[in-house]
Chains A and B, each alone.
Chain A
Amino acid sequence: MAILFLPKEKFRNWLLKLSQGFLVYYPTELENKIHYRKLDSNALNDPYFPYDKALKKIRPIESIKGFFFKQKEKVGGLEDKLPVTINLDKTPQIIIGAKNCDLRPLMVHQKMYLENEFGEPFYKAQREKTFIIATDCPIPEQTCFCNLLGLKPFPELGADVVMTVINNGYIFETTSEQGEKLLRDNDHLFQEAGSSDLVERDLQRHKAVAILETINPKHWRSDLIKAINERKDEKFWQEQAKDCVECFGCLMVCPTCFCFLLYDQPTKNNSFHRNKIWDACYYSAYARVGGGMSPRPEFWKRFRNRFHCKFMNFTNDYGFNACSGCGRCFSVCMGKIDIRKVLEKV
């Protein structure tokens, strides 16, 4: 597929075109933090809007997981003994600015939900209506560790279009048929990328890879699965978990965590709505059964479970880790527990 170039001055024009057919979500800086926000007319009509500022930074505070696997979503219920009707919002949307560490989690959810024999129609519907225009991470930060997971600081798999911000514009590479079509619809704005543009992109990418290697020079052991499996002593895990205040923010911001709870809310007599809400294996009630027994009653076992899940069980099942190195878990951690350090010591 062709590699295209969009000059800086035409970028806003292109966003305007996109916003005519789609809801467009864009990384937006709010109180020094980056969040995905709907691109509204204020931003679109402002010729001085700093479109590149947030794009050039690392991943936003929230991952794109919530667009597909919603924090809370109605997925069923009975009303007067009849199944409730659920109207799925099919408005097409575009997410701009997803980083590679938000694309890898899509592969985790692909395995867990979409390739599951029963399927997950709600997740699927959200994925099908969404185009992802992913961007590079030119300057990784101290919390980034995608290199330890074998990932690059620029989009590899899972996007429709890969966009790289360079000095005088944007380089676009389509990575799916839908992405190809998305660009073709406005192809009068684009031109073919020049070789100097591509050299600039390559240099920028090499630089980002080098920064990551400086941040995380020490790679995890190659027999990590075995090491985690054999690390059974309570003392080790107690030590790793000792600063945890059990807020479980790490799991709530995690882009790969896929656990959910089906939670029924009564509406009126004998009627209820069933909600699918995010859940986390750190909660004491998470694995508890009816009689009150739990396979992981002590917190250190629940703490360890996160490592078993992401770096052993999932890895054994699918051949890659259920972690993308985004660093959100320790960015929010009040106890400053660094997942990298735990895995270094294991």
Chain B
Amino acid sequence: MNNPFQPFPVTITNIIDETPTIKTFVLDLNGNQFSFDAGQFIELTIPGVGEAPFTPSSSPYDKNKLEMTIMKVGKVTSALFSLQVGATLGVRGPFGIRYPIELYEGKEIYIIGGGVGLAPLRSLFFALMENVKKYKRIYIRYGARTSQDIVYKQQIPIWKTWKGVDIQQSVDVGDNSWKGKVGVVTILLDDLIGNTKNMVGVVCGPPIMMKFATIKLLEKGFDGNNIYLSMEKNMSCGLGQCGHCRMGKYFVCKDGPVLTWEQVKDIEDPFL
């Protein structure tokens, strides 16, 4: 029986502390057949505690392991944070649709992340880097609350050296250790110019950040069809059956989790 509710077991092989409330869990798939495309998500089970949806942050091209960068916010993530290397988790998926990256070819791509929202975008970023020449330029605009809340602290300086990539960061609240820009992430879009109608914006972060980033991109002339938003809904079954993630006419788990502004603009409070 092909049982869509049954997770397969995976093992935690490494845990990387990103911030005081964010960790990256490296998972060994124990030989299970699994692959995903950037944008798709999985349901991660903490045995005996429950299941919650997360989007992988590793490259979809990396078939040996799965990395999940996760913030401690609720019951499942709190239990996850108490686990050690060697612990068993369950995985179902992948679910949802992928970023249509073939549509991004020849274009300038703005990847806009807020806080832990950079995690799923890293998976997209790695996928784009596999064929970086296909894209005109990849911009990462990343905002965190403070310098302590920045994820991938060791990796971002390396990414900055990669060809075809332009990375800028800001923090909402500055401190002595922070030499960069201070302000919400949208300040990094203030001087965005060019043929914006033809640019792609990919946004993931807290709802309020997503809202204002979308407003900013629209102000700048982005087409609603080119603004890709990661909708955070209670994606419980992942199959489009259980109803929890319904948002207007969409089941976010099946029709998303990434939807374009054009798709969600008529929905009441899409970011809530």
Contact = CB atoms under 8 A, between A and B. Distances in A.
Contacts of B248: 313
Contacts of A120: 4, 239, 241
Contacts of A290: 52, 73-74, 76-77
B146 interface: no
Nearest to A294: B272
Interface in A3-36: none
Interface in B147-162: none
B107 to A, nearest CB: 30
Nearest to B46: A264
A186 B231 CA distance: 57
A276 B74 contact: no
B268 interface: yes
Contact of A281 (B4, B8, B239, B243): B243
A121 B2 contact: yes
Interface stretch (A50-58, A131-139, A144-152, A254-262): A254-262
Nearest to B78: A290
A75 B2 CA distance: 11
A76 B7 CA distance: 8
A309 B237 CA distance: 18
A293 B9 CA distance: 30
Interface residues of A, number: 50
B243 to A, nearest CB: 4
Nearest to A81: B9
B242 A270 contact: no
Interface in B39-87: 45, 47-52, 73-74, 76-77, 87
Given A259-B243, A272-B47, A313-B246, A82 B9 contact: yes
Nearest to B247: A295
B242 A260 contact: yes
B31 to A, nearest CB: 13
B241 A258 contact: yes
A288 B234 contact: yes
B47 A289 contact: no
Interface in A81-99: 81-83, 86, 88
A12 B49 CA distance: 51
Interface residues of B, number: 43
A78 B234 contact: no
A272 B48 contact: yes
Contact of B5 (A276, A292, A295): A276
A62 interface: no
Contacts of A259: 242-244
A237 to B, nearest CB: 12
Contact of B49 (A77, A264, A279): A264
Interface string A102-117: 0000000000110011
A305 B48 CA distance: 31
Contacts of B191: none
B249 interface: yes
B5 A75 contact: yes
B183 interface: no
A194 interface: no
Contacts of B47: 78, 264, 266, 270-272
A116 B76 contact: no
Given A118-B4, A291-B74, A292-B74, A262 B241 contact: no
A54 B48 CA distance: 44
B33 interface: no
6 contacts: A78-B9, A116-B241, A258-B241, A261-B244, A286-B234, A316-B249
Q: What 8 A-B pairs come out closest when comparing CB atoms?
A: A266-B48, A259-B243, A76-B6, A290-B74, A75-B5, A118-B4, A118-B239, A290-B73
Interface of B: 1-9, 45, 47-52, 73-74, 76-77, 87-88, 90, 207, 232-234, 236-237, 239-249, 268-269, 272
